[in-house]
């Protein structure tokens, strides 16, 4: 059974810092991995999607990497801003033909001005 | 593109009552998903539709839960004889057919069972 873990559970940084969020998964037979952002009381917003054959994806100040063999992904946020404060979730889709995503429990990020 | 729309945003009901939630996916998306999220946890998969066909169901979806997607457009999720353990955020998501397309979520329906 796939298990997804995110460390740390919470992170507080001053504005302008670069930071890294970690995601690990137990079964490396994944189809893709997706990073989401969730604001309190809201749904999830897709940030980056990495196919299993890719090593990284970039969007603006965000960079996500994937090391499938070691079961790890990182989300790098450059020059953090207070507006980046949210919960960040990673999710994997297995390479079994099934559609469901398996989510981690998220990292709650607070960027203070 | 108006995004994924869910209704209602909040629902408070008494234990034992039936509730129904609606999801309108992004119009050109033929794949639709339901997830459930409790406080401090990541979303858990409930069920998946491709057009009007329900192709995957989680074991979390007990016989009190039923989902439909008539005509392959909007979807409804019904919970019968609600229990306090059903209290959660119910999230709907949709995406295009291609395997590389990301999942787009709605803002969810928060259910409170008293």
Digit-coded pLDDT (tens) for A82-102: 999 999 999 999 988 778 899
Mutation target to probe the B interface, by most B beta carbons within 10 A, among A43, A59, A64 is A43
Per the listing, tokens 């998501």 go with B93
pLDDT tens track for A20-76: 999 999 999 999 999 999 999 889 999 999 999 999 999 999 999 999 999 999 999
Q: Please name the residues between 57 and 86 in chain A that touch chain B, using a CB distance below 8 Å.
A: none
Whether the CB of A12 is below 8 Å from some CB of chain B: the reply is: no
| CA B42, B56, B28, A91 torsion-angle sign | positive
CA distances to A53, A66, A94, B67 from B35, rounded to whole Å, are 27, 25, 17, 12
Number of inter-chain CB pairs under 8 A, A vs B: 60
A86 and A107 in contact (C-beta within 8 Å)? no
Put simply, the answer to whether A100 touches B55 (Cβ < 8 Å) is: no
Q: What is the pLDDT, as a whole number, of residue B65?
A: 95
Nearest CA in chain B to A104: B42
Which of A5, A93, A37 is closest to B45 using CA atoms?
A93
Nearest CA to CA, how far is B114 from chain A (Å)? 20
Chain B residues within an 8 Å CB radius of A42:
107-108
Q: For B73-95, how does the pLDDT look when each residue is reduced to its tens digit (9 = 90+)? A: 999 999 999 999 999 999 999 99
Q: Which of B106, B47, B48 is nearest to A45 (CA)?
A: B106
CA–CA separation, A48 and B109 (whole Å): 25
Query: Residue A46 is nearest to which of B6, B41, B104, comparing CB atoms?
Result: B104
Question: Which residue of B31, B41, B107 is in closest CB contact with A43?
Answer: B107
Furthest CA-CA distance within chain B = 41
The DSSP element (H or E) to which A8 belongs, if any, is: none
Report in angstroms the alpha-carbon separations of A13 from A47, A90, A106. Answer: 20, 20, 17
pLDDT tens series, chain B, 114 aa: 579 999 999 999 999 999 999 999 999 899 999 999 999 899 999 999 999 999 999 988 889 999 999 988 999 999 999 999 999 999 999 998 876 788 899 999 999 999
Cα separation, B78 vs B89, in Å, equals: 14
For B:19-78, CB contacts with A below 8 A are: 31, 33, 40-45, 48, 55-56, 58
């Amino acid at each position: 059974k796939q298990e997804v873990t995110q460390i740390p559970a919470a992170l507080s940084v001053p504005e302008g810092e670069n930071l890294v969020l970690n995601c690990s998964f137990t079964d490396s037979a994944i189809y893709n991995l997706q990073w989401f952002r969730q604001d309190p009381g809201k749904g999830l917003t897709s940030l980056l999607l990495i196919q299993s054959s890719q090593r990284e994806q970039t969007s603006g100040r965000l960079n996500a990497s994937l090391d499938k063999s070691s079961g790890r992904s990182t989300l790098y946020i450059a020059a953090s801003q207070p507006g980046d404060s949210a919960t960040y979730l990673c999710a994997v889709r297995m390479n079994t033909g099934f559609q469901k995503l398996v989510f981690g429990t998220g990292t709650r990020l607070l960027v203070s001005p | 593109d108006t995004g994924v729309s869910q209704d209602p945003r909040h629902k408070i009901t008494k234990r034992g009552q039936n509730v129904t939630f609606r999801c309108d996916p992004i119009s050109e998306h033929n794949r639709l998903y339901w997830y459930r999220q409790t406080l401090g946890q990541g979303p858990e998969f409930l069920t998946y539709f491709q057009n009007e066909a329900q192709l995957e169901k989680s074991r979390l979806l007990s016989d009190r839960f039923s989902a439909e997607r008539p005509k392959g457009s909007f979807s409804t999720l019904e919970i019968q004889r609600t229990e306090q353990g059903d209290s959660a955020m119910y999230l709907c998501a949709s995406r295009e057919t291609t395997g590389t397309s990301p999942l787009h979520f709605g803002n969810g329906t928060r259910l409170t069972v008293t």
